[in-house]
Amino acid sequence: MQQGTTSAIRGDARVVRGILLDLDGVVYVGGSALPGSLEAISRIRAAELPLKFITNTTRRPRRRIVRDLAQLGLQVAPEDVYTPAALAHDFLARRNLAPFLVVHPELREDFSGLRTDGEEAVVVGCG
């Protein structure tokens, strides 16, 4: 890696400890990677900075987001993609709550493995 890249990532006196990178409008728009986005991600990974991806989509399950990224040439582990549904799933699991889902039908798979009886929590996802 070039020294200039390390300096740009590390800044003057601060050290970047990790990066949360939004997906839609930053990495891609529609089905196309934005110019320079994949190269930037490669440079971040080469610098060995922790990198996670975030999105506010409530219409596509995490599995499909990961598949769509792979089609753009970006290999990402599902656990490195943070979606509202994934975060809601973890919240419900930690509190042992059963989801009452008011979400896009495709998103239901992101709530698998949760209890189906007992105290409920309403999960609303707008599309």
Confidence of residue 16 (pLDDT cuts 50, 70, 90): confident
Domains contained in the chain, CATH given: 3-124 (3.40.50.1000)
pLDDT of res. 65: 97
pLDDT in tens, 20-45: 999 999 999 999 999 999 999 999 99
Closest CA to 98 of 65, 121, 64: 121
Confidence of residue 15 (pLDDT cuts 50, 70, 90): confident
Q: For 8-12, 37-41, 49-53, 73-77, which range has the lowest pLDDT when averaged over its residues?
A: 8-12
Query: What ranges in 11-83 are assigned the alpha helix state H?
Result: 37-46, 62-71
- 2 burial (CB, 10 Å; 0-12 / 13-18 / 19+) is exposed
